[in-house]
Amino acid sequence: MSGSCDLDTRQALSSALGVVAGMPGAVVHLDLSTVLFCDAASVAALVRASAALSGQGRRLLLHDPPYSLRMVVEMFPEECAALEVAA
Protein backbone atom coordinates (compact mmCIF):
# COMPACT_ATOMS: atom_id res chain seq x y z
CA MET A 1 0.00 0.00 0.00
CA SER A 2 1.06 3.59 -0.51
CA GLY A 3 -0.27 7.11 -0.12
CA SER A 4 -3.00 7.94 2.38
CA CYS A 5 -5.73 5.74 3.82
CA ASP A 6 -8.66 8.04 4.43
CA LEU A 7 -12.18 8.84 3.26
CA ASP A 8 -11.05 9.26 -0.35
CA THR A 9 -9.37 5.85 -0.48
CA ARG A 10 -11.61 3.82 1.82
CA GLN A 11 -13.09 1.75 -1.03
CA ALA A 12 -9.63 0.95 -2.42
CA LEU A 13 -8.45 -0.08 1.04
CA SER A 14 -11.43 -2.39 1.49
CA SER A 15 -10.75 -3.96 -1.91
CA ALA A 16 -7.05 -4.37 -1.13
CA LEU A 17 -7.79 -5.98 2.23
CA GLY A 18 -10.17 -8.39 0.50
CA VAL A 19 -7.32 -9.43 -1.79
CA VAL A 20 -4.95 -9.70 1.17
CA ALA A 21 -7.41 -11.94 3.01
CA GLY A 22 -7.46 -14.27 0.02
CA MET A 23 -3.70 -14.69 -0.08
CA PRO A 24 -2.43 -18.11 0.95
CA GLY A 25 -0.18 -18.75 3.89
CA ALA A 26 -0.22 -18.71 7.64
CA VAL A 27 1.15 -15.16 7.78
CA VAL A 28 0.12 -12.37 5.43
CA HIS A 29 2.64 -9.52 5.31
CA LEU A 30 1.43 -5.99 4.57
CA ASP A 31 4.10 -3.40 3.73
CA LEU A 32 3.00 0.04 4.92
CA SER A 33 6.38 1.74 4.47
CA THR A 34 5.07 4.13 1.81
CA VAL A 35 1.76 4.89 3.53
CA LEU A 36 1.81 8.49 4.69
CA PHE A 37 -1.38 8.57 6.76
CA CYS A 38 -4.09 6.25 8.13
CA ASP A 39 -7.28 7.65 9.61
CA ALA A 40 -9.12 5.87 12.43
CA ALA A 41 -11.59 4.21 10.04
CA SER A 42 -8.70 2.77 8.03
CA VAL A 43 -7.11 1.42 11.19
CA ALA A 44 -10.47 -0.13 12.08
CA ALA A 45 -10.54 -1.82 8.66
CA LEU A 46 -7.07 -3.24 9.32
CA VAL A 47 -8.25 -4.48 12.73
CA ARG A 48 -11.24 -6.22 11.13
CA ALA A 49 -9.01 -7.82 8.47
CA SER A 50 -6.56 -8.98 11.11
CA ALA A 51 -9.36 -10.41 13.27
CA ALA A 52 -10.85 -12.21 10.25
CA LEU A 53 -7.50 -13.80 9.42
CA SER A 54 -7.02 -14.72 13.06
CA GLY A 55 -10.37 -16.49 12.97
CA GLN A 56 -8.92 -18.65 10.18
CA GLY A 57 -5.84 -19.44 12.27
CA ARG A 58 -3.74 -16.98 10.25
CA ARG A 59 -1.96 -13.69 11.00
CA LEU A 60 -1.76 -10.27 9.39
CA LEU A 61 1.67 -8.76 10.03
CA LEU A 62 2.07 -5.03 9.41
CA HIS A 63 5.48 -3.74 8.36
CA ASP A 64 6.59 -0.13 8.86
CA PRO A 65 3.22 1.42 9.75
CA PRO A 66 2.94 5.21 9.57
CA TYR A 67 3.01 7.37 12.68
CA SER A 68 -0.73 8.04 12.40
CA LEU A 69 -1.53 4.32 12.65
CA ARG A 70 0.75 3.91 15.66
CA MET A 71 -0.96 6.86 17.36
CA VAL A 72 -4.44 5.38 16.86
CA VAL A 73 -3.18 2.09 18.31
CA GLU A 74 -1.78 3.94 21.33
CA MET A 75 -5.05 5.82 21.84
CA PHE A 76 -7.21 2.69 21.49
CA PRO A 77 -5.05 -0.25 22.60
CA GLU A 78 -7.90 -2.63 23.41
CA GLU A 79 -9.72 -1.97 20.15
CA CYS A 80 -6.49 -2.42 18.17
CA ALA A 81 -5.25 -5.48 20.03
CA ALA A 82 -5.73 -7.63 16.90
CA LEU A 83 -3.05 -5.65 15.04
CA GLU A 84 0.43 -7.12 14.93
CA VAL A 85 3.38 -4.95 13.90
CA ALA A 86 6.70 -6.44 12.82
CA ALA A 87 9.62 -5.55 15.06
pLDDT (0 to 100) of residue 82: 94
Residue 38: helix, strand or coil by DSSP?
strand
- Asked if 36 contacts 3 with a C-beta cutoff of 8 angstroms, the reply is yes
**pLDDT higher than threshold 80 for residue 87:** no
Q: What is the pLDDT of residues 3-55, one digit of tens each?
A: 999 999 999 999 999 998 888 899 999 999 999 999 999 999 999 999 999 99
Cβ-in-10-Å burial (0-12, 13-18, 19+) of 25 comes to: exposed
pLDDT (0 to 100) of residue 54: 95
pTM to 2 decimal places: 0.92
pLDDT (0 to 100) of residue 21: 85
